[in-house]
């Protein structure tokens, strides 16, 4: 498959905000972007899916709790089970946790404040589909903007995530939300499904973001799709 032949879908829920930037990031990485509609139980043959940031269904009940029942998510869960790469950013991370594709849950920031700033992250693991372009230990500057980004899971779950190398990113230079063990992003057992609170799609062009450090996530997945 050529890079441009790789089709990466981006879901739009009612209340999604970052679907436009996610699609732009996909194009900037060299792949083709495909819009996916929340009410449409069809992935239209895409090779990977991005669940973008925003406030799906108004964040009612809990962040991501209603989105997980959207018709498109049933298909995402099924495709993820078959190994399709899936990335959840911010609200998308919350949706993937609620849907059971990733362990744990994102809760109200410990300081109660909505935090919007450029944040340093450290790459913990580069073997997942979405992080192969990074060097382990590399530090990235990527925007965060969330009110409920404190990653919580029981200690045995956290121990297993760390022991299996499934923590992808940690916050450095200050934990913005009280996340357990400074966790900013994780992946599933196969390294195909990833979720993180920071917004790599907002850091793909130095003209509009702090860096282009986020582009590597999209290029990483594209490498896998092209090699397949």
CA distances from 62 to 17, 27, 95, 213 (A): 17, 32, 10, 30
Is there a contact between 39 and 70 (Cβ–Cβ < 8 Å)? Answer: yes
Clarify whether 75 is annotated catalytic.
no
**Candidate list 75, 90, 98, 148, residue with the active-site label:** 90
Least distance (Å) from other proteins to the CB of residue 157?
Answer: 9
Least distance (Å) from other proteins to the CB of residue 140?
Answer: 27
Is there a contact between 131 and 88 (Cβ–Cβ < 8 Å)? Answer: no
Clarify whether 90 is annotated catalytic.
yes
**Candidate list 38, 75, 97, 199, residue with the active-site label:** 199
Interaction site with other proteins (CB under 8 A)? 61-62, 65, 98, 104-105, 107-112, 150, 152-154, 178
Residue 210, number of CB atoms within 10 A of its CB: 16
**Candidate list 75, 98, 148, 201, residue with the active-site label:** 201
Beta carbon nearer to other proteins, 28 or 62: 62
Clarify whether 135 is annotated catalytic.
no
Give CA–CA dist 144/167, Å, rounded. Answer: 18
Beta carbon nearer to other proteins, 44 or 60: 60
Beta bridge partners of 188: none
Q: What DSSP string runs through 22-53?
A: HHHHHHHHT-EEEEEETT----TT-SEEEE--
Beta carbon nearer to other proteins, 31 or 153: 153
Beta carbon nearer to other proteins, 98 or 213: 98
Least distance (Å) from other proteins to the CB of residue 83?
Answer: 25
Active site residues: 90, 199, 201
């Amino acid at each position: 498959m050529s890079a441009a032949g790789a089709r990466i879908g981006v879901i739009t829920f009612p209340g999604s905000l970052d679907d436009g930037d996610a699609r732009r990031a996909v194009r900037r990485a060299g792949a083709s972007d495909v819009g996916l509609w929340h009410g449409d139980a069809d992935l239209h043959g895409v090779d990977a899916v991005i669940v973008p940031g925003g406030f799906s269904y108004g964040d009612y009940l809990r962040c991501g709790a209603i989105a997980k029942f959207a018709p498109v998510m049933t298909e995402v869960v099924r495709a993820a089970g078959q190994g399709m790469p899936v990335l959840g950013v911010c609200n998308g991370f919350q949706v993937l946790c609620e849907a059971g594709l990733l362990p744990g849950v994102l809760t109200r920031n410990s300081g109660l404040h909505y935090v919007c700033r450029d944040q340093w992250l450290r790459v913990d693991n580069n073997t997942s589909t979405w992080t192969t372009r990074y060097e382990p230990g590399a530090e990235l500057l990527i925007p965060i903007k969330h009110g409920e980004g404190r990653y919580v899971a029981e200690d045995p779950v956290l121990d297993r995530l760390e022991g299996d190398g499934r923590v992808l990113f940690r916050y450095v230079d200050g934990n913005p939300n009280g996340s357990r063990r400074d966790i900013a992003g994780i992946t599933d057992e196969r390294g195909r499904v990833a979720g993180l609170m920071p917004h790599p799609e907002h850091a793909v062009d130095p003209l509009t973001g702090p860096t282009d450090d986020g582009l590597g996530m999209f290029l990483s997945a594209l490498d896998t799709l092209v090699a397949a």
